[in-house]
Chains A and B, each alone.
Chain A
Amino acid sequence: MSGRVLVGVKRVIDYAVKIRVKPDNSCVVTDGVKHSMNPFCEIAVEEAVKMKEKKLIKEVVVVSCGPQQAMETIRTALAMGADRGIHVEVTGKDYENLGPLQVSKIMAALAKKEDALLVILGKQAIDDDCNQTGQMTAALLDWPQGTFASELSMEGDKIKVVREIDGGLETVKINTPAVITADLRLNTPRYATLPNIMKAKKKKIANVKPADLGVDITSRLEVLRVDEPPQREAGVKVETVDDLLARLKEAGRI
């Protein structure tokens, strides 16, 4: 086994930004808006780097799919301690239509190519909330999956995963190679410090296209329309119970 971990990171609109929809309802406004690494991807990178520091694995390779700006996200991961990056170039309309199915095909192809021991992803992206890429990647590779991980430990050639589920915590032990998706409480990601940002500039980022990996990224989905949630309207005060009933009937609620 290579002792290599593949980590996928996605560049998304920063969580602190107030999202606005374009006037033509085609998509959200992204121009001039602050972007950063998806928070769950940060947790995934941190976990991989921690495993390397504990000498459980040998190399952390970070992958991002997107246009030129995806390189910034890869650099941040390198500053956190990843060893090298792979930028899968996807631009324009292809990028707008890029979704979990396409990304998981790319991740599966790279996992095979890099002979990865583990693929660690964030559990979901904060822009689409799909929560699908990890699961699809595992299915395409026919590898076991440990999703919503809040704790990981290597036990020989198996990996013990404590998963956060609705009823509480579930512990599973899966064979490697495997796919893991990181949940919120897995760790607290480190900040990139200036010296590490400087060092990261010297680390290598390979550039590939989906076609080079034999992946077809045509989307089977078409976004018809994007709307903002309805504006909250002012409340209305009523003086009597009869008034209340009349208003509720008017609004078709009773």
Chain B
Amino acid sequence: MLLGFRPSLRLLSPRLQLLQSRSVQSEHPATSAAVDSVLSALRSICGEDGVSFGAAVREQHGRDESIHRCCPPDVVVFPRCVEEVSELAKVCHQHNLPIIPFGTGTGLEGGVSAVKGGVCFSLRNMDQVLDLHPEDFDVTVEPGVTRKALNSHLRDTGLWFPVDPGADASLCGMAATSASGTNAVRYGTMRENVLNLEAVLADGTVLHTAGKGRRPRKTAAGYNLTNLLVGSEGTLGIITKATLRLYGIPEAMVSAVCSFPSVQAAVDSTVQILQAGVPIARIEFLDDVMMDACNRFSSLSYAVSPTLFLEFHGSERSLEEQVLTAEDITQSNGGSDFQWARDAGSRERLWKARHDAWYAALALRPGCKAYATDVCVPLSRLPQIIVETKQDLMENRLTGPIAGHVGDGNFHCLMVVEPSDPEELHRVHLFTERLARRALALDGTCTGEHGVGLGKRALLCEEVGPEAVKVMQRLKDSLDPKNLMNPGKIL
């Protein structure tokens, strides 16, 4: 989970690295001729301002929001269009330099760590919303467009892009990590909502996975290259455009909170609500430890017991029906009366506990860091795995409040850990491995939405099996024979 630094194939000489690490450095440190020529090639493509050598900029681009240590790249480039991305990739390909695509740096698995150094492609200047077709429910965006920016752009059209991983992430980055979120149970994840991608491969080739400009709602044409790249975490190509599926903004929304006497009761209710065919939009589970943390952090007074946060979308009439059915089910499982909210203001207040979960967990032990586990199992296995996991946490004296998208069988233990205590770190590490293997034993996955990144490569092999890993490696070798695209991730 925590990675040691692997210095190999660096662009710069060790002496230069030392220069770079000082806070005050000269504009143009002494470089070898080879480094100079690469830098001038990069600058000639994206301009003087488009290439950054500064320590602060490189550090910023070597870390995300995970607990993984910062591995800064050797240089950061800021291309402005796909042609520049292609030319820059060609330069990197020629000089065997690793390429690390960077969106918003909001990932949770160390996906942007430049473990072998190289060139970080920061795509934030490519920030246009292109080709909106409201009547076809699709839009194409560049990597600098975040999901909140897109939804703000769409607000007058009555459409929205509902995949909501929490952070205001780059949509192309979300495609790269196959992101999901709280309303995947109704609207799906990125896998179901990307229609087409434009990507630049390691040798500079510009690829349109479904054909240039194509956006039919469905297709049976050839191999599914779009979904090959979705979730490839920058190891196969740099995504420069994504065509996304849009949905109508719900006419009305209602949120509710319901507490239960046990984890089993809460999860059973979830399963039954889904089996009853209620098109529930969000169904989030918080365990008692999490509820206690939220109460303290946000000065709330929710019951300290397993709780479900629910949200229903639809027309006024369909909402009535959905809510009636759901309430029937929760009450039959011993659930409390619903706490309600209809208008935007009250719904936000109701959900505040869930939204602040991360910070509430951190506040349990100030000064500590947090790491979120991400297992996902078939729904019927959920009660078992959560109960066993809570047992594990208690036996090993670990702080791990649980919050999860139970509608998908996905839950996160927010492991709060003292980063300077190697013994605790070790216990957390072992716990996360046990948890992942527990999920695999129950026909699940070690990562429902965060991705493999740096920390779960060994688990990937256990999960998909050696044959599948071999096929993945062959695909990787055929698209990126020099292993320049984000080395050290996934495989």
Residue of B with least CB distance to A17 = B153
Cα distance A197–B154 in the bound complex, in angstroms: 13
Cα distance A196–B160 in the bound complex, in angstroms: 15
Nearest CB of A to B79, in Å:
18
Interface stretch of the complex, out of A98-106, A156-164, A186-194 = A186-194
Nearest CB of A to B234, in Å:
27
Check A43 for interface membership: any CB of B closer than 8 A.
Answer: no
Nearest CB of A to B187, in Å:
15
CB contacts (< 8 Å) of A111 on chain B: these are none
CB contacts (< 8 Å) of B315 on chain A: these are 195
Question: Mind listing 30 A-B residue pairs with CB under 8 Å?
Answer: A14-B153, A16-B149, A16-B152, A16-B153, A34-B153, A36-B155, A37-B156, A72-B156, A76-B156, A79-B158, A188-B344, A188-B345, A190-B344, A191-B155, A191-B158, A192-B155, A192-B156, A192-B158, A192-B249, A193-B158, A193-B249, A193-B251, A194-B158, A194-B249, A195-B248, A195-B251, A195-B315, A196-B251, A197-B157, A197-B158
CB contact list, B132-159 vs A, under 8 A: 149, 152-153, 155-159
Cα distance A72–B344 in the bound complex, in angstroms: 25
CB contacts (< 8 Å) of B155 on chain A: these are 36, 191-192
CB contacts (< 8 Å) of B160 on chain A: these are 191
Check B24 for interface membership: any CB of A closer than 8 A.
Answer: yes
CB contacts (< 8 Å) of B158 on chain A: these are 79, 191-194, 196-197
From B24, B153, B248, B345, give the contact of A194 (CB < 8 A): B248
Check A237 for interface membership: any CB of B closer than 8 A.
Answer: yes
Q: Are A191 and B249 in contact (CB under 8 A)?
A: yes
Residue of A14, A193, A237 most packed against chain B (CB within 10 A): A193
Cα distance A237–B26 in the bound complex, in angstroms: 11
Q: Are A193 and B152 in contact (CB under 8 A)?
A: no
Other CB < 8 Å A-B pairs besides A192-B158, A193-B251, 14 of them?
A: A16-B152, A34-B153, A36-B155, A36-B156, A76-B156, A79-B158, A191-B155, A191-B160, A192-B156, A192-B157, A192-B249, A193-B158, A193-B250, A195-B315
Q: Give A167-194 as 1s and 0s: 1 = Cβ < 8 Å from B's Cβ atoms.
A: 0000000000000000000001011111
CB contact list, B222-242 vs A, under 8 A: none
Residue of A with least CB distance to B154 = A191
CB contact list, B142-188 vs A, under 8 A: 149, 152-153, 155-160
Q: Which residues of A contact B (CB under 8 A)?
A: 14, 16, 34, 36-37, 72, 76, 79, 188, 190-197, 237
CB contact list, B308-361 vs A, under 8 A: 315, 344-345
CB contacts (< 8 Å) of A76 on chain B: these are 156
Q: Which residues of B contact A (CB under 8 A)?
A: 24, 149, 152-153, 155-160, 248-251, 315, 344-345
Nearest CB of B to A194, in Å:
4
Nearest CB of B to A131, in Å:
24
Residue of B with least CB distance to A195 = B251
Cα distance A195–B315 in the bound complex, in angstroms: 10
Cα distance A197–B160 in the bound complex, in angstroms: 14
Residue of A with least CB distance to B149 = A16
Nearest CB of A to B195, in Å:
19
Cα distance A195–B250 in the bound complex, in angstroms: 9
Cα distance A196–B157 in the bound complex, in angstroms: 11
CB contacts (< 8 Å) of A79 on chain B: these are 158
Nearest CB of B to A198, in Å:
9
Q: Are B153 and A193 in contact (CB under 8 A)?
A: no
Q: Are A237 and B24 in contact (CB under 8 A)?
A: yes
Nearest CB of A to B221, in Å:
29
CB contacts (< 8 Å) of A190 on chain B: these are 344
CB contacts (< 8 Å) of B249 on chain A: these are 191-194
Residue of A with least CB distance to B251 = A193
Cα distance A16–B344 in the bound complex, in angstroms: 22
Residue of B with least CB distance to A50 = B343
**Top 9 nearest A-B pairs by Cβ distance?**
A194-B158, A194-B248, A197-B158, A191-B249, A193-B249, A193-B251, A188-B344, A76-B156, A192-B158
CB contacts (< 8 Å) of A72 on chain B: these are 156
Residue of A with least CB distance to B137 = A194
Residue of A with least CB distance to B315 = A195
Cα distance A38–B137 in the bound complex, in angstroms: 25
CB contacts (< 8 Å) of A14 on chain B: these are 153
Residue of A with least CB distance to B160 = A191
Cα distance A171–B381 in the bound complex, in angstroms: 58
Residue of A with least CB distance to B252 = A193
CB contacts (< 8 Å) of B149 on chain A: these are 16
CB contacts (< 8 Å) of B156 on chain A: these are 36-37, 72, 76, 192
Residue of A188, A190, A191, A196 most packed against chain B (CB within 10 A): A191
Cα distance A211–B119 in the bound complex, in angstroms: 63
Residue of B with least CB distance to A18 = B127
Residue of A with least CB distance to B158 = A194
Cα distance A14–B156 in the bound complex, in angstroms: 11
Nearest CB of A to B25, in Å:
10
CB contacts (< 8 Å) of A37 on chain B: these are 156
CB contacts (< 8 Å) of B251 on chain A: these are 193, 195-196
Cα distance A196–B24 in the bound complex, in angstroms: 59
Residue of B with least CB distance to A197 = B158
CB contacts (< 8 Å) of A196 on chain B: these are 158, 251
Residue of A with least CB distance to B156 = A76
Cα distance A42–B157 in the bound complex, in angstroms: 14
CB contacts (< 8 Å) of B24 on chain A: these are 237
